[in-house]
């Protein structure tokens, strides 16, 4: 069973516009959520995180929103840049052992 | 400072051979994790070490997989009698472990190809 789901395998956005990447989860015990960005042939790079006690966290062009009742989180990138083109993974933790449960990733393409 | 490093970056092996993959975590990080990413899939948790505690091996797919962490630092993931389905990118991560708000930092991975 897939506890963390990213239902869109790919997303294409015009440079300067907003990119919205979505993630759904099923386990109500998850209390910490992260977004990672991955370029080809490189390891995932931490982007932004949010604790379950918050519903929004912002860092520059990146904002993560958490809707606990819907078990849904999203990553907003504004404005999108060509260098943002990568695969984005959302991940969740229940804080019990540190291991992360990852979604399958969404490949973002930002076109000039 | 230096990030997580892994070696080798690529490994091609024949079915049935044993392989060892190495991970050097960020200095001072007490927690170390192994994940793998098969083609087109997300990252799959394999094993987790935290300090001197017994490792969480709940993600290891079979008894052909094992890992150790020596001196609380370097870790080696060993796959015995490799199979073609073991082909994947094996990723190591480390963290300073702050409980529920832990952020893991990943190495570049080892791409394993089993022929």
Task: Please report the pLDDT score of residue B103 as a whole number.
Answer: 83
What is the nearest CA distance from A82 to chain B, expressed in angstroms? 22
* pLDDT of B82 over the 70 cut: yes
Q: In A3-85, at which residue ranges do the beta strands (DSSP E only) sit?
A: 4-5, 10-14, 19-25, 32-38, 45-51, 56-59, 62-67, 72-77
Determine contact, residues A34/A44, Cβ cutoff 8 Å: no
Q: What is the pLDDT of residue B40?
A: 78
* pLDDT value of position A98: 77
The pLDDT value recorded for residue A76 is: 98
**Tens digits of residue pLDDT in A66-112:** 999 999 999 999 999 999 999 999 999 887 667 899 999 999 999 99
Question: pLDDT of B18-74, one tens digit each?
Answer: 999 999 999 989 899 999 999 878 899 999 998 888 899 999 999 999 999 988 789
Give the span between the Cα atoms of B111 and B77, in whole angstroms: 13
- Cα atoms found within 13 Å of the Cα of residue B1, Cβ hemisphere only: 7
Over 80: is that where the pLDDT of A27 sits? Answer: yes
Task: Determine phi and psi for B20, rounding to 5 degrees.
Answer: -125, 130
**pLDDT at residue A15, rounded to an integer:** 97
pLDDT of residue B72: 76
What is the chain A residue with the closest CA to B42?
A: A104
pLDDT at residue B1, rounded to an integer: 55
Higher pLDDT, A41 or A36: A36
Please check the confidence at residue B98 and state whether its pLDDT lies above 70.
no
A18: distance to nearest CA of chain B, Å?
A: 24
Strand partners, A14: A111
Using an 8 Å Cβ cutoff, are B50 and B102 in contact?
no
Distance from C-alpha of A42 to C-alpha of A37, rounded to nearest angstrom: 10
pLDDT value of position A20: 98
- Which tokens go with B110? 């080892």
Find residues 4-63 of chain A whose CB sits inside 8 Å of chain B.
4, 6, 31-32, 34, 36, 41-46, 49, 51
**Residues B5, A48, A63: CA angle, nearest 5 degrees:** 155
């Amino acid at each position: 069973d897939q506890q963390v789901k990213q239902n869109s395998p790919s997303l294409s956005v015009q440079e300067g516009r907003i990119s919205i990447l979505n993630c759904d989860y099923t386990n109500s015990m998850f209390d910490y959520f992260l977004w990672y960005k991955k370029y080809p042939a490189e390891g995932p790079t931490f982007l932004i995180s949010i604790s379950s006690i918050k519903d929004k966290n912002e860092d520059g062009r990146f904002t993560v929103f958490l809707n606990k009742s819907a078990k849904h989180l999203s990553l907003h990138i504004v404005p999108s840049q060509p260098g943002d083109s990568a695969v984005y993974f959302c991940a969740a933790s229940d804080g019990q052992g540190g291991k992360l449960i990852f979604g399958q990733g969404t490949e973002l393409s930002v076109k000039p | 400072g230096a990030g997580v490093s892994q070696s080798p970056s690529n490994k091609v092996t024949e079915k049935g051979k044993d392989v060892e993959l190495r991970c050097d975590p960020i200095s001072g990080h007490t927690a170390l994790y192994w994940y793998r990413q098969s083609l087109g899939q997300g990252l799959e948790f394999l094993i987790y070490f935290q300090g001197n505690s017994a490792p969480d091996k709940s993600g290891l797919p079979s008894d052909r997989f094992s890992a150790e962490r020596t001196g609380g630092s370097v870790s080696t993931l060993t796959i015995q009698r490799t199979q073609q389905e073991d082909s994947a990118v094996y990723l190591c991560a480390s963290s300073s472990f702050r409980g529920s708000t832990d952020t893991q930092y990943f190495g570049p991975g080892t791409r394993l190809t089993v022929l």
